[in-house]
Amino acid sequence: MKRLLAIAASVLISTALYAQGGIPNTTVKDVKTNKKVAFNTVFEEGKVTLVNFWATWCVPCKKEIKNVKKSLDSWHKEADFNYMTVSMDEPRAEGLVRSYAKSQGWDFPYYIDTNQDLMRSLNFRTVPFTLIVDKKGNVAYSHQGYEEGSEHELFEKIKELSK
């Protein structure tokens, strides 16, 4: 009973944080280091962060990440921001996530939310899902889905928030 109350309290706190624009402290796994971390601790204070939520089976997700990655060098010349991805794949697909990221030459942080706890905390149901977190660690923008070229709209928002 105590454990159930603790879980309920944790969910309520995470939900309240997100409702206020804050990032939940839900645990995710850093695929590179193989360590679990609280999601709200992976953001650099004072820096805007673009986060793509994806899955290995999601073709639009991969296309969005590929297009963002292709633009990162030129975007970083115009705005100071971080970029990361979070996979929504099941635990047994962690190896696929790792090998895909390696094959694509990802040099940015990537995490996995194997139980989809973060997905529930952020209240979205499917990928691709995108967040932009402002310099204060608040969700400044979110978007579901992906259409070719929409990454340029994301960059405009990043530039606004990076000023």
Kindly list the strands in the beta sheet with 35-38, ordered across the sheet, starting from the edge strand earlier in the chain: 35-38, 27-30, 110-112, 81-87, 48-54, 129-133, 139-144
Q: According to the model, what pLDDT value does residue 9 have?
A: 36
Average pLDDT of each block of 10 consecutive residues along the chain (163 residues)?
39 39 92 96 97 98 98 97 98 96 97 96 96 96 96 97 95
Among 34, 51, 125, CA closest to 85: 51
Q: Which pLDDT belongs to residue 22?
A: 87
What local confidence, expressed as pLDDT, does residue 113 receive? Answer: 97
At residue 4, the pLDDT reads 39
Other Cβ atoms within 10 Å of 34 Cβ, number: 9
pLDDT of residue 15: 39
- Map tokens 């939310």 to a residue: 113
- The DSSP call for residue 108 is S
What is residue 21's predicted lDDT score, i.e. its pLDDT? 65
DSSP letter at 43?
Answer: S
Domains plus CATH for the chain? 2-162 (3.40.30.10)
